[in-house]
Amino acid sequence: MSLPLLLVSITLIFLVFKLYKGIRFKLPPGPYPWPILGNLAHIKPVGCRNFNEWSQIYGPIMSVWYGSDLSIVVLNSKLAKQVLKDNDHQLASRPRRSLTAKVVKDGKDLIWADYGPHYVKVRKVCTMELFSPKSIEALRPIREDEVRAMVESIFKDCTNPEGYGKSLMVRKYLGSVAFNNITRLVFGERFENEGVMDQHGLEFKAIVEQERKVGQSLIIAHSIKLLGWISWLKKGEIAKHLAHKDAFTRTIMEKHIQSCNKSGKHFVDTLLTLRERDELSEDTIMGLLGDMITAGMDTIAIVAEWAMAELIKNPRVQQKAQDELDRVIGPNRVMTESDLSSLTYLQCIAKEALRLHPPTPLMLPHLADADVKIGGYDIPKGSHVQVNVWAIGRDPKVWKDPLEFRPERFLEEDVDIKGHDFRLLPFGAGRRMCPAAQLSINLVMSILGHLLHHFHWDPPGGVQLEEIDMFESPGLVTYMRTPLQAVPRIRLSPNLYKREGVCD
């Protein structure tokens, strides 16, 4: 068959398929899809902004075609409630294809598991064991130690004669605290000391970076089924990466097995202790450990960087937060996580940062296990459903002056952040809500509190506040497009900047 005839045939098949869908179902409106590509040629790199723009034309629920896959995007809190609560049971699974399934242990983890007995079991392990209040408290010294290490590192760099008065790249320090914190919580290993990464740390960072590249290479191939050969060509490369990742994780597991650590202090110890009682396979344990790394490494640094950018752009808010810290903590000691409940304005700052800058602005896709209705429209079985958390947090119908960074709004109204109020969904809601929400909130607030208590922050010399780039980079998670540069000035006695260190 000649190429032109093949393209004509494909186009006819696509049009017949779309006509069938249009006759059988009342789909939400959306941009007209091209054959093969669907709407991929129309989607801009930062999807959350793109879909928010399209909502001005098509409304708060729309059909978007990723190749031949239908995705329904919702952009307001009422529709989000219908997705995440009213129809939660039918929309609680995840879409997977063959090669993606291998990357995510064929859904034997938590994040990409289908909703069913396995998902219920591993989620219970997460909520009752890994992220229980008791577990979060037991691991508090590690989190506090890593935040103190970050403060010490910034102090050394900004008081060094060569660096005095110069701007620092804030992301460098936030990335370090997030990396060291997650490897210690998950593996009980600190791969970085005195700013130098050891060989295991370099190997692990390379694995994480390769994981990102693998994920990106699969997105296009899975969006356009006819380009599945991309996955086939990369099959060997992906298999090599997965073998390397599994070998690295298995080595750490074996180390913990041989140490006979029954305390369950770190995530790997807890899972190894529970493997017989809860019938956790090796794939499930490695999948869960991978989930913790994937979900925890970028998101903490992303939220903290966006929050610091807003605090530098809004000196009034920064000063008000420091006034609260000075009143509650004082100048003679450092804050701890036990102080967080007394730092009401700091809590509001964290909420406001998450409202404007959720680290995952488009929720991971939900898979419709049955035909359902959302907003009066049909959502056919097999469709993907995404909630635009970024757009909901900026909806002028539910937020006054939505683009203004004003933490006081949460003093005027107590808005739940953990899935009960559908106006604010940084951790999702329903059966798929992030089980580590409280751990993430504690760490973000601790980072922000220490940064503000120990330092005053200004933009680099010659940079006006309005010149700070507040646009997102493309991706499933959205770092600032331009890494934040800022000038720190110490606020406390030098003896309060030293890390004391704790044993794992």
Q: Distance of CA 327 to CAs 316, 349, 445, Å?
A: 17, 17, 17
Query: Residue 334: its pLDDT value, please?
Result: 96
Nearest CA to 28 out of 371, 388, 364, 376 is that of 376
Contacts of 32 (CB under 8 A, 6+ apart): none
pLDDT tens per residue, range 16-64 = 555 555 567 899 999 999 988 899 889 999 999 999 999 999 999 999 9
Backbone angles phi, psi at 65, to 5 degrees: -100, 115
Q: What is the DSSP letter of 361?
A: S
Nearest CA to 338 out of 136, 176, 89 is that of 136
Can you tell me the distance from the alpha carbon of 302 to that of 287, in angstroms, rounded to the nearest whole number?
Answer: 23
Contacts of 225 (CB under 8 A, 6+ apart): 67, 68
pLDDT tens per residue, range 269-311 = 999 999 989 999 999 999 999 999 888 888 999 999 999 999 9
Region 258-277 average pLDDT: 81
The answer to whether residues 54 and 31 touch, using CB atoms and an 8 Å cutoff, is yes
Region 358-386 average pLDDT: 96
**Predicted confidence (pLDDT) at residue 346 exceeds the cutoff of 90:** yes
Q: What is the DSSP string of 94-124?
A: ----HHHHHHTGGGTSSTTPPSSHHHHHHHH
Can you tell me the distance from the alpha carbon of 299 to that of 390, in angstroms, rounded to the nearest whole number?
Answer: 14
Region 245-256 average pLDDT: 91
Place of tokens 């036990």: 338
Region of poorest pLDDT, from 216-225, 332-341, 368-377: 216-225
Region 439-443 average pLDDT: 95
Region of poorest pLDDT, from 66-80, 214-228, 352-366: 214-228
Confidence of residue 5 (pLDDT cuts 50, 70, 90): low
SS3 129: helix
**Predicted confidence (pLDDT) at residue 174 exceeds the cutoff of 80:** yes
The answer to whether residues 196 and 209 touch, using CB atoms and an 8 Å cutoff, is no
Can you tell me the distance from the alpha carbon of 229 to that of 189, in angstroms, rounded to the nearest whole number?
Answer: 39
Contacts of 403 (CB under 8 A, 6+ apart): 356, 394
Can you tell me the distance from the alpha carbon of 84 to that of 181, in angstroms, rounded to the nearest whole number?
Answer: 31
**What is the identity of the amino acid at 410?**
F
pLDDT tens per residue, range 114-158 = 999 999 999 999 999 999 999 999 999 999 999 999 999 999 999
SS3 235: helix
The number of residues in the chain equals 504
Query: Residue 257: its pLDDT value, please?
Result: 86
Q: Any known ligand binding at 158? A: no
Burial, 499: exposed, middle or buried (Cβ in 10 Å; 0-12, 13-18, 19+)? Answer: middle
Query: Residue 159: its pLDDT value, please?
Result: 94
Can you tell me the distance from the alpha carbon of 88 to that of 81, in angstroms, rounded to the nearest whole number?
Answer: 9
**Predicted confidence (pLDDT) at residue 416 exceeds the cutoff of 90:** yes
Q: 235 or 410: which carries more pLDDT confidence?
A: 410
Averaged pLDDT score across all residues of the chain: 89
The answer to whether residues 226 and 36 touch, using CB atoms and an 8 Å cutoff, is yes
Query: Residue 343: its pLDDT value, please?
Result: 98
Q: What is the DSSP letter of 368?
A: -
**What is the identity of the amino acid at 213?**
K
Question: The tokens of 101 are what?
Answer: 């399934």
In the CATH hierarchy, which fold is given to the domain comprising 3-497? Cytochrome p450 (1.10.630)
Q: Distance of CA 417 to CAs 456, 475, 492, Å?
A: 28, 23, 32
Confidence of residue 225 (pLDDT cuts 50, 70, 90): low
pLDDT tens per residue, range 52-111 = 999 999 999 999 999 889 999 999 999 999 999 999 999 999 988 665 667 777 889 999
Confidence of residue 387 (pLDDT cuts 50, 70, 90): very high
Contacts of 407 (CB under 8 A, 6+ apart): 317, 345, 348, 349, 351, 352
Place of tokens 């009422």: 78
Query: Residue 107: its pLDDT value, please?
Result: 85
pLDDT cut 90: percent of the chain above it: 72
Query: Residue 196: its pLDDT value, please?
Result: 83
**Predicted confidence (pLDDT) at residue 494 exceeds the cutoff of 90:** yes
Query: Residue 404: its pLDDT value, please?
Result: 98
Nearest CA to 139 out of 189, 192, 184 is that of 184
Q: 233 or 159: which carries more pLDDT confidence?
A: 159
